[in-house]
């Protein structure tokens, strides 16, 4: 009798167990075990029948009331599921899995506020319920409660299942809140957990660019391209950064690559001509002038091309040296003394 009673701890209360004779305790034990097995194997109709029989023996058991709520929920008897979830909480306020059931019912009824409340109560009792934490985070994200998303997902343990997803969505919320340093930390957590998470590297690169952390941005755009070689956005951003740092050789390589992706095979195309065209489209006149000057030298262009390069360089910032080189080039091909004097005075 004592052994059976000990087996029923957590299923029937001590008071209920004392009220049952040995035969009833054995029956309760068998019903609970078989019902649990049926639930685990997906036979919710069978589980419901056995839990109902168990409830006849222990009607005040919070555990059995809770399992009845689950069985009713999985057999689409929603009103009964809701009723028994509340009964389980009345019997034992710590039967917090009932809050999950109530939250799912509220979600199905499109009552997001009630679902948020139920899931939050579950987490107060069971802070390690990672799935409910994620569920609540997604719910708040859909509702536009960005601070709420950050609140619920910030402390998600990195070693637990779902951590990468949690910190990715935390990062998205932080970006929208304008908390960029925290967002970078969140996305860095994601890539440490999932090294091929392309989208997180993309956000890292964009945020680092915004903060002027160009070397880090270049590295992360490079990782994006390693993972997704045809990513046009990454190529464009890396070209812009390379041009800003006057790393022309690498920028030309990327431009050829971009040209192949956007306009078919670029065989025979001068990469400096591509660079000139790209820089003009981006309004980067200094880079355009340098590229045009290289094109003019390679093709032994006439005076007009060198003068165009000089004009572009004059529109850039800190490109006086390019202006001089372009004017000297125009002087060499034209022989006009005035251009030589102008270059000398610039």
Is the pLDDT at 338 greater than 60, yes or no?
no
Question: Which of 30-34, 252-256, 263-267 is predicted with the least confidence, judged by mean pLDDT?
Answer: 263-267
3-state secondary structure of 284: coil
Residue 334: pLDDT band (50, 70, 90) is low
Q: What is the pLDDT of residue 25?
A: 78
Choose the CATH number for 1-127 among 1.25.40.10, 3.40.1210.10, 1.10.10.60, 3.40.50.2300: 1.25.40.10
Residue 253 or residue 144, greater confidence: 144
Is the pLDDT at 257 greater than 90, yes or no?
no
Round to whole Å and give the CA distance between 136 and 155.
14
Residue 344: pLDDT band (50, 70, 90) is very low
Residue 271: pLDDT band (50, 70, 90) is confident
The reported pTM is: 0.74
* pLDDT tens profile 49-92: 998 998 888 888 889 999 999 999 999 999 999 999 999 999 99
Round to whole Å and give the CA distance between 59 and 153.
38
Question: Which of 101-110, 112-121, 206-215, 318-327 is predicted with the least confidence, judged by mean pLDDT?
Answer: 318-327
Is the pLDDT at 194 greater than 50, yes or no?
yes
- Which two structure tokens, joined as six digits, stand for 252? 């030309």
Burial class (CB within 10 angstroms; exposed 0-12, middle 13-18, buried 19+) of 262: exposed
CB 249 within 8 A of CB 239: no
Residues of the chain above pLDDT 90, percent: 52
Q: What is the pLDDT of residue 28?
A: 81
Residues of the chain above pLDDT 70, percent: 84
* pLDDT tens profile 137-191: 999 999 999 999 999 999 899 889 999 999 999 999 999 999 999 999 999 999 9
What's the average model confidence in pLDDT over 6-15?
55
Number of H helices, E strands in the chain: 21, 0
* pLDDT tens profile 290-312: 887 787 777 776 667 777 777 77
Round to whole Å and give the CA distance between 19 and 273.
92
Q: Over the chain, what is the mean pLDDT?
A: 84
Q: What is the pLDDT of residue 296?
A: 77
Is the pLDDT at 5 greater than 50, yes or no?
no
Q: What is the pLDDT of residue 155?
A: 87
Is the pLDDT at 1 greater than 50, yes or no?
no
Residue 15: pLDDT band (50, 70, 90) is low
- Which two structure tokens, joined as six digits, stand for 51? 């839990």
Which range has highest mean pLDDT (42-56, 200-214, 273-287)?
Answer: 200-214
Round to whole Å and give the CA distance between 37 and 57.
19
Q: What is the pLDDT of residue 4?
A: 43
Round to whole Å and give the CA distance between 302 and 187.
52
Residue 184 phi, psi dihedral angles, 5° rounding: -60, -45
* pLDDT tens profile 214-252: 999 999 999 999 999 989 899 989 988 988 888 878 888
Residue 182: how many CB atoms within 10 A of its CB?
A: 17
């Amino acid at each position: 009798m004592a052994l059976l009673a000990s087996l029923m701890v957590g299923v029937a209360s001590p008071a209920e167990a004392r009220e049952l004779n040995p035969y009833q305790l054995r029956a309760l034990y068998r019903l609970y075990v078989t019902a649990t097995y049926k639930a685990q194997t997906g036979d919710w109709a069978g589980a419901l029948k056995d839990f109902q029989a168990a409830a006849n023996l222990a009607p005040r058991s919070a555990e059995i009331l809770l399992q009845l709520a689950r069985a009713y929920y999985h057999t689409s008897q929603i009103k009964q599921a809701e009723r028994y979830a509340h009964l389980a909480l009345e019997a034992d306020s710590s039967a917090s899995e009932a809050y999950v059931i109530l939250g799912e019912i509220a979600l199905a009824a499109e009552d997001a506020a009630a679902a948020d409340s139920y899931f939050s109560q579950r987490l107060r009792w069971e802070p390690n319920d990672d799935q409910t934490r994620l569920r609540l985070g997604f719910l708040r994200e859909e509702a536009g409660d960005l601070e709420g998303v950050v609140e619920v997902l910030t402390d998600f343990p990195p070693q637990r299942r779902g951590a990468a997803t949690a910190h990715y969505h935390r990062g998205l919320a932080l970006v929208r809140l304008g908390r960029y340093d925290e967002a970078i930390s969140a996305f860095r957590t994601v890539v440490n957990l999932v090294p091929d998470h392309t989208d997180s590297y993309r956000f890292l690169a964009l945020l680092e660019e915004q903060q002027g952390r160009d070397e880090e941005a270049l590295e992360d755009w490079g990782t994006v391209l390693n993972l997704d070689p045809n990513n046009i956005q990454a190529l464009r951003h890396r070209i812009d950064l390379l041009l800003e740092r006057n790393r022309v050789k690498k920028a030309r390589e990327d431009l050829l690559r971009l040209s192949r992706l956007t306009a078919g095979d670029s065989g025979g195309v001068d990469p400096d001509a591509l660079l000139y065209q790209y820089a003009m489209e981006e309004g980067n006149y200094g880079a355009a002038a340098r590229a045009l000057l290289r094109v003019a030298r390679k093709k032994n262009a006439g005076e007009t091309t060198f003068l165009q390069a000089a004009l572009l360089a004059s529109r850039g910032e800190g490109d006086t040296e390019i202006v001089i080189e372009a004017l000297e080039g125009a002087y060499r091909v034209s022989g006009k003394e005035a251009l030589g004097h102008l270059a000398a005075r610039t």
